[in-house]
Amino acid sequence: MIGRHYIEDVLLQLKKYKDLGERSMAQVTDEQFFEKLDPEANSIALIVKHLAGNMRSRWRDFLTKDGEKPDRNRDAEFEVEPGDSRRSLMARWEEGWALTLDAIGGLESGDLMKTVKIRGEPHTVLEAINRQVSHYASHIGQITLLAKHAAGAAWKSLSIPRGRSRDFEVSKVGRTYRAGGDTNP
């Protein structure tokens, strides 16, 4: 029972991260999507490309093959290549998230203590999931920060607007609502 609850909660949290990333990216232009703060920084586009590559590698054949697949070219995830457009990278993003959510959603409680490998290192399934959730959360935070920086004064808050904390509560699924029950669009 606790295992199923854990799996369902992980799926809920991952869907919230995906939504946060997408609502952040919706506030930037295509040019801003590819913009870097400095030559060594990653753009939103490169973070999207990296997350998609990571998800594709980690979650295909999750229980049976090493999470670092031989066809992954991690270094290329941090380079804009010919053919990389916002549209093509967002298609990879969708594919990566579908693989992730399907793989985790297909797990049974008894799978959580099985052993999987990532780069040859053994992890319980539970550890592997936690490793990826924290990895994805950190990159979604980067996407949000970069999008907020790019949008500047045009940025629309994704949660509780500054100075209005007392007016809102946050539901278990991550939606804000006005204290007293009114939903915040």
Q: Which domain CATH number covers 109?
A: 1.20.120.450
For residue 74, give Cα distances in angstroms to 12, 49, 77, 147, 158: 27, 10, 5, 23, 30
For the chain, the domain total comes to 2
- The verdict on 125 and 164 lying in the same domain is no
- The verdict on 29 and 109 lying in the same domain is yes
pLDDT digits (tens, 9 = 90+) for 13-58: 999 999 999 999 999 999 999 999 999 999 999 999 999 999 999 9
- Look up the domain containing 172 and give its range: 158-185
For residue 75, give Cα distances in angstroms to 49, 54, 78: 11, 11, 6
pLDDT digits (tens, 9 = 90+) for 76-111: 999 999 999 999 999 999 999 999 999 999 999 999
Give 10's contacts (C-beta < 8 A, 6+ positions apart). 104, 129, 133
Task: Calculate ∠ Cα 32-153-170, nearest 5°.
Answer: 95
pLDDT at 178 over 70: no
Nearest to 149 by CA among 19, 16, 27, 23: 27
- Structural Rg of the chain based on CA atoms: 18
Nearest to 46 by CA among 11, 15, 86: 86
- The verdict on 93 and 169 lying in the same domain is no
